[in-house]
Amino acid sequence: MDFTFTEEQQAATEAARAVFSGVAPDAVISPALTAGAVADDFDRPLWTKLGTADLLSLLLAPEHGGAGLDPVALCLVLRESAKVLARVPLLETSAVAAAVQRYGDKELADTVLPRAGRGELVLTAGANGRSGHDPAELAVTARQDAGGWVLDGAQTAVPWAAYADLIAIPAHTDAGRAVLALVPRDRTGVTLADQFSTSGELLAEVRLDSVTAQPHEVITDGAAWDWLRSLLTVGTCAQALGLGERVLEMSAEYTSGREQFGFPVATFQAVAVQAADRYIDLRAMEATLWQAAWRLSTGAGGALPLAGDVAVAKIWASDGVRRTVQTAQHLHGGFGADTDYPLHRYHAWAKQLELSLGPAAAHEETLGDLLAAHPLN
């Protein structure tokens, strides 16, 4: 088996490193110092740089101005973005655009994809349902009306919704079928209620009151929402991996320079063992991430459906990133809580990533259901 990334994937990684190299993780107010959002907008200058570097169109086909790469390439870029806590809707815009390309009709694709790839359109998705625990598609109803669809319900904790041009809304029909509607933020009947993430970003509860959607704005393929949710989850795992790797580096840098009894504390056995445990966590997070991303990219089969590998990846991502930041706080001592030092920001982002699209316990339940339905020989 060859686990080497392709030249195109490696080129995307290098381009991402170049773009993110100038990003400071503490460029906005600390989430510990404000009860509201840390900024009035996402990082627009960085967004422009990502568009110029063609990193917003990685998954788009050449006819839409993209590079035609796969979710593995996107995960490599997301991994780099999380190391600097990049405040951009890269995952959401890329994932929704990819779902439109894969499942949407030509009119929707031609309208959305070229502009999204250039960064002219910001896309996001409501993936948490009404409570964050029930399937997102059950939170909104979709019924066909003369000449279109009518949507009613709400999606909570929608990232970047206040800045998005289009919001992908999963919904269910009377027949129990899942559909995916792309709704403009300013469509009549759409209202946003401010919410705030653990990392201090502005989220929104998106309420839909008899919101109309044109036929071409609704993707009726039942596989579309499952695929988009998988891509969003795998992308979140990639962000957790990148964040965890940077936090372990910070721990190594600090403990190597901090001396006690005349020796760097990194040489103490208790410190080294804790750091080694976190390194093992990160390697497990990496292995399970690439397994899920590879299956999502290739459509390859396995002992369990794709959802099984996605669940395993998110279990490791949620638990692993939590353990990594907790150990980092412990090894840094009181310094880790200093708001002039960025570690506490990584801790806040890690908690957000841990719970986004379901904590480990939720995915363990999913994995258990899959194992019951698909006994392994």
Scanning the structure block, which residue is given the tokens 């899959």?
Answer: 370
Percent of the chain past pLDDT 90, that is, above it, reads 88
**Could you tell me the pLDDT band of residue 161, with boundaries at 50, 70 and 90?**
very high
- pLDDT digits over 131-154, tens only? 877 899 999 999 999 889 999 999
Lowest mean pLDDT among 112-116, 187-191, 257-261, 368-372: 257-261
Give bridge partners of residue 182 from the DSSP assignment.
168
Q: Does pLDDT of 265 surpass 80?
A: no
- pLDDT digits over 279-303, tens only? 999 999 999 999 999 999 999 999 9
Mean pLDDT, rounded, for 2-24: 94
N- to C-terminal Cα separation, the chain = 23
> pTM, whole model, 2 decimals?
0.96
Structure confidence at residue 133 (pLDDT):
79
Lowest mean pLDDT among 18-32, 275-289, 326-340: 326-340
Evaluated on CA atoms 115, 120, 126, 127, the torsion sign reads positive
Structure confidence at residue 144 (pLDDT):
94
Q: Does pLDDT of 267 surpass 90?
A: no
**Could you tell me the pLDDT band of residue 1, with boundaries at 50, 70 and 90?**
low
Residue pair 67/58 in contact (Cβ under 8 Å)? The answer is: yes
Q: Does pLDDT of 371 surpass 90?
A: yes
Structure confidence at residue 61 (pLDDT):
97
Percent of the chain past pLDDT 70, that is, above it, reads 99
Residue pair 320/282 in contact (Cβ under 8 Å)? The answer is: yes
Q: Does pLDDT of 376 surpass 90?
A: no
Lowest mean pLDDT among 8-12, 257-261, 311-315, 321-325: 257-261
Cα pseudo-dihedral 230, 237, 165, 200, rounded to 10: 140
Q: Does pLDDT of 255 surpass 90?
A: no
**Could you tell me the pLDDT band of residue 259, with boundaries at 50, 70 and 90?**
low
